[in-house]
Structure 1
Amino acid sequence: MSQDDPKTLVSTGWLAQHLKDPDLRILDASWYLPDAGRDPRAEYDAAHIPGARFFDMDDISDQRSDLPHMAPPVEKFMSRLRAMGVGDGHQVVVYDGAGLFSAARVWWLFRLMGQDNIAVLDGGLPKWQAEGREVEDMPPVVRDRHMTVRRQNSLVKDVTQVSAASKLQDTEIIDARSAARFRGDAPEPREGLRAGHIPGSKNVHYASLLNDDGTMKDPDALRRVFEDAGVDLSKPAITTCGSGVTAAILSLAMERMGKTDHALYDGSWSEWGMFPGLPIETGPVATGDT
């Protein structure tokens, strides 16, 4: 697979070359954990890639749920994107201010909604700015555009499905959190959650899939990371993390590798760790501590 694939990942050079394309739409999907002390909307207002719209992941979510930024209802997704001027026939490129972090979640969300003409900007805004490329502080001119949505339910799993996969061991459950959180040695950033991991799951910390400059490793290197963590890539996969954000980095990596039988556990540890009736494992495991 080439570096530039408008359905998964594109380089800063590719985006610069296509920046003036009439059917290109760029989304700034920056989002940070509360302890990062960063305001993504304020950063967007100060400087963004020319023409970028701000995608508010917490707003474009299912706010009926007590869990953070769960996938929104189809109607809400359609209306929000239409108001942003993003719709049918557009090639979308999504980036974030961390390099490659929350943008993957929005890539997965578009895929969930049946939109596959979307790619993540490899290295994100930090790489774009490090290369001295143009940014602006002006809001884009937006014209409504209809979007046809066909939700792909196979790309998302709920707690019941994940519990069944954990018991049957017929699917690899892959956790993107740090090894310390996976083992239960470090406290969860969200109050009230137990520490540990879903029984039988494997640990692939999302950062292990990235190069030092925040870009994603090549497909062969990605495959080695998963295999070194004890993941059987011949099985279907479910990705999980703290709240369904970095799990999408694992999903994007598998898609880059050509593995398409993967889904994301949207509730992730925010849900599993909350309910005392769900089993957990702690401590080191034979494989998977990356």
Structure 2
Amino acid sequence: MKKRGKILSFMILLLIFTAFTGCKAKTIESGQITETAERTISTKELSEKLGSPEFVVVDVRSEAQYNGWKLEGEVRGGHIRGAVDFPLSWTNDLKKEDLKDLLESKGITADKTVVLYDTLGDKSPAMAEILKGLGYENILVYEAGMMEWAGNDTLPMDKLANYEKLVYPEWINALIKGENPDTYPGKGYKIFEVSWGEGKEYKEGHIPGAVHLDTNELEEEPLWNRVSDKDIEKMLLRNGITYDTTVVLYGSDTTAAARAASIMMYAGVEDVRILNGGFGAWTEAGLDIETEVQSPVPVEAFGIAVPAHPEYIIDTKEAKEILADENAELASVRSWEEYIGETSGYTYIKPKGRIAGATWAHAGSDPYHMEDYRNVNNTMRNYHEIAKNWEDWDITSDKKVAFFCGTGWRASEAFFDAYLMGWDKIAVYDGGWYEWSMDEANPVETGEPK
């Protein structure tokens, strides 16, 4: 009886202890009390803490869900307003020190209370354990997650304005299987692997049914500006594209896909989409690839006059008009070293410097990298972070903004990102630094701007 009484007393004490530890669930293992769950936060508490500098809310779902896709039964797509994205999948391949650096670069620091959420409660606990291993102590899990938050339309959410134009691998796979994935208008589709040349990587393996699109069909020497409007239309017809075809673009280099996207949008293709993360995202998803070379089936008519959107690509005359306009920005999508004139960035471009009066829209470490626009897995960076970089240089959505780079590829990626954000006064300055610098009469600056 005494032994039974001791056990009963212990269980009562355990229940009392559990009640007073709030959200930490406990179990008994080998006679010891062990934590099995994280401290949690309610919907009401979280809504009251939004915007607090002492809290950082972290969305650990996929980039697609953060941007706006509804993949797990959410009533509304997108993310909790103010939340930072840090998908659990990012933790798979990063070293401990690199992981902590990345967390801190996104404002997820150990001195703040970190609130983690997902949709079904299957990812946040794992992320909490990872953060603990990195020395984080103040961690809360929002167990109700997006199911409850999105289900209450009084709670604030944000999403990428045109998120549907940035597709994820499984969306394309559903398209290939003949299904009708969300937002697909059902008027026929084409998938293109975009790269320069004859398609060496394409022949080694590509998304089933995809056709190789050589960027030489889109632009030409000596300045690598877009081909004529007539030749753009011929390219579209040759590749079986009409104005209402859903066109999905991808490659190992997203800038090539973006270059094709900007030219097709200029021509008038209404539904142009890019695979977020390119071919790497497809292979990472473990989806089928093929090596059979696919040939396009031509069409006879595009359906509308080309270009339907001439405002999307401008030339030097319009670039000068933007420089003279107080409510417009000519935005340089080049590395800092290119912007201040330490390097031209290209072997075939000799002059160094920047267009006088151009602002800096960030880019990457050199002409062939876009770290300022990409996540660690090569997907599009958090659009709030891209917009903040632009805002720091007076590039804002209320202005007319023309992006340029050396010859158009990097500028096209910035243009497409702005389009995804819903910016409606945007363009690519096609000639870029290459064409501008060829004319000695055009004003040039070097050094850090004053």
Q: Distance in 1 between matches of 2:284 and 2:345?
A: 33
- Tell me the alpha carbon deviations over residues 41-93 of structure 1, each in whole angstroms, 9 at most, x when there is no partner: 111122111111111112333x4x6311x222232222222222232442110
Task: Return the alpha-carbon distance in structure 2 between the equivalents of residues 95 and 40 of structure 1.
Answer: 16
Alpha-carbon distance, 1:178 to partner: 0.5
Q: Aligned pair 1:226/2:390, yes or no?
A: yes
Alpha carbons of 1:15 and 1:283: their partners in 2 closer, same or farther (altered >3 Å)?
same
- 1: CA distance, partners of 2:69 / 2:352: 37
Structure 2 residue aligned with 1:137:
291
Q: Are residues 1:189 and 2:346 paired?
A: yes
CA contact (8 A) 2:242 2:269 kept: no
Alpha-carbon distance in 2 for matches of 1:153, 1:127? 32
Q: Work out whether 1:30 is the aligned partner of 2:195.
A: yes
Of the three residues 257, 261, 284, the one matched with 2:448 is 284
CA offset digits 1:254-288 (Å, max 9, x no partner): 111111101111111110112111111111125xx
Among 146, 164, 169, the residue aligned to 2:321: 164
Written as runs of structure 1 = structure 2, the 5 A alignment for 1:203-282 is: 203-206=360-363, 207=370, 208-282=372-446
- The aligned amino acid for 2:298 is D
On the 8 A contact 1:8/1:252 being kept in 2, the answer is: no
The CA deviation string for residues 120-160 of structure 1, in whole angstroms up to 9 with x for no partner, is 11000011112222111112254322322431211121112
TM-aligned CA deviation for residue 235 of structure 1: 1.1
Task: Give the root-mean-square deviation of aligned CA atoms.
Answer: 2.2
Provide the TM-score with structure 1 as the length reference.
Answer: 0.87
Aligned residue in 2 for 1:13: 170
Displacement after TM superposition at 1:30 (Å): 1.9
Counterparts in 2 of 1:35-184, with a 5 A limit?
41-61=199-219, 63=220, 66-68=222-224, 70-98=225-253, 100-140=254-294, 142-145=296-299, 146-148=301-303, 149-151=305-307, 152-184=309-341
List alignment gaps of at least 5 residues for structure 1.
32-38
Among the aligned pairs, what percent are the same residue? 23
**Whole-Å separation in 2 of the counterparts to 1:202 and 1:26:** 35
TM-score (structure 2 length as normaliser): 0.57
Q: Distance in 2 between matches of 1:189 and 1:183?
A: 15
Q: Deviations over 1:151-200 (max 9, x none)?
A: 12111211122123223443111111111001101233143531111122
One-letter amino acid matched to 2:409: V
Q: Which has the higher contact order (CA 8 A, sep 6+)?
A: 1
How many pairs align? 275
Higher mean displacement: 138-147 or 46-55: 138-147
**Secondary structure at the residue paired with 2:172?**
helix
CA separation in 2, counterparts of 1:192 and 1:48?
33
Per the TM alignment, residue 97 of structure 1 is displaced from its structure 2 partner at its CA by 1.1
What code does the residue aligned with 1:227 have? E
Q: Which amino acid aligns with 1:67?
A: L
Determine the C-alpha separation between the residues in 2 that align with 1:16 and 1:250. 26
Aligned to 2:83: none
SS at match of 1:283: coil
Distance in 2, matches of 1:192 and 1:245, equals: 15
CA shift digits 1:87-111 (9 cap, x unpaired): 244211000112x221111111111
Q: Closer, same or farther in 2 for the Cα pair 1:153/1:108, shift >3 Å?
A: same
Q: Supply the distance in 1 between the matched residues of 2:314 and 2:170 (Cα, whole angstroms).
A: 35
Letter in 2 for 1:110: M
CA distance in 2, matches of 1:227, 1:263: 17
Q: Which has the higher strand share?
A: 2
Deviation at 1:10?
Answer: 1.0
